[in-house]
Amino acid sequence: MNLRALASVAVIALAIFLWLRRPSSRGIAKEMQLDVKAGRIDYKGITYEASWSDETHRFEGDLRYVGRAYSGDLPLVTHDAILTTGDFSDPKLVKVSPLKNGSGSWRAKSRPDGTLVALHFIPSNLAIHRQLAGLREGDTVEIEGMVETDSRVDASNGGYWRLNHSNHKLVLVTAVKKR
């Protein structure tokens, strides 16, 4: 293959990579426009509608998993986490798999005491995004925010996003504290 053909292939490959890559979570948080009272979040010309709780919810525990999340159906979710208490926080007692496509699993030799919840985070602003991006597995945290109440978000482009498990929560995060 000659140099000109190789350069053409490289340019095409780079263009495809740039077109297919996910937007940065910081860029998403920066571009979102929130109107929580109306239940709307606008991002890149699409309006996402959800039913948010009136009161703030607090989630406390140990992070057994935290990572970057991305779904083309709901790009507003920038991070996923598995938050645990009790036996679920002990890796020797309970094996927890990372979330993949929003789902995960756990295994134990006997029924563990405590709680395990999968949280899907939408940062309410850039400062909250920075705090979410700084979380690490093993951190003990307190997360506050509004919870989506009917497990569904509808998009103005006809798409939707739905949680199918009762121990999964979509949280519009307003505060993050490491303990």
Evaluate whether 89 touches 179 at the Cβ level (below 8 Å): no
User: Binning pLDDT at 50, 70 and 90, where does residue 4 land?
Assistant: confident
Residue 159 has pLDDT above 60, yes or no: yes
pLDDT band of 11, cuts 50, 70, 90:
low
> Looking at 124-163, which runs of residues are DSSP E strands?
140-147, 152-155, 160-162
Confidence of residue 3 (pLDDT cuts 50, 70, 90): confident
Least confident of 80-84, 85-89, 129-133, 165-169: 165-169
Comparison of pLDDT for 79 and 21, the residue scoring more: 79
Mean pLDDT of 26-48: 93
The pLDDT value recorded for residue 12 is 64
Question: What average pLDDT does this structure show over 78-85?
Answer: 96
Q: Phi then psi for 97, rounded to 5 degrees?
A: -90, 150
Which pair of tokens denotes residue 52? 């948010």
In three-state secondary structure terms, 16 is helix
CATH number of 24-178: 2.40.50.140
Q: Is the pLDDT of residue 102 over 60?
A: yes
Task: Record the pTM.
Answer: 0.86
Task: Express as a percent the part of the chain with pLDDT over 90.
Answer: 73
SS3 29: helix
The answer, yes or no, to whether residue 81 has pLDDT greater than 50, is: yes
Predicted pLDDT at 18: 47
Among the residues of the chain, which ranges form H helices? 3-20, 25-31, 126-133
Q: Where are the domains of the chain?
A: 24-178
* C-beta separation of 95 from 106 below 8 A: yes
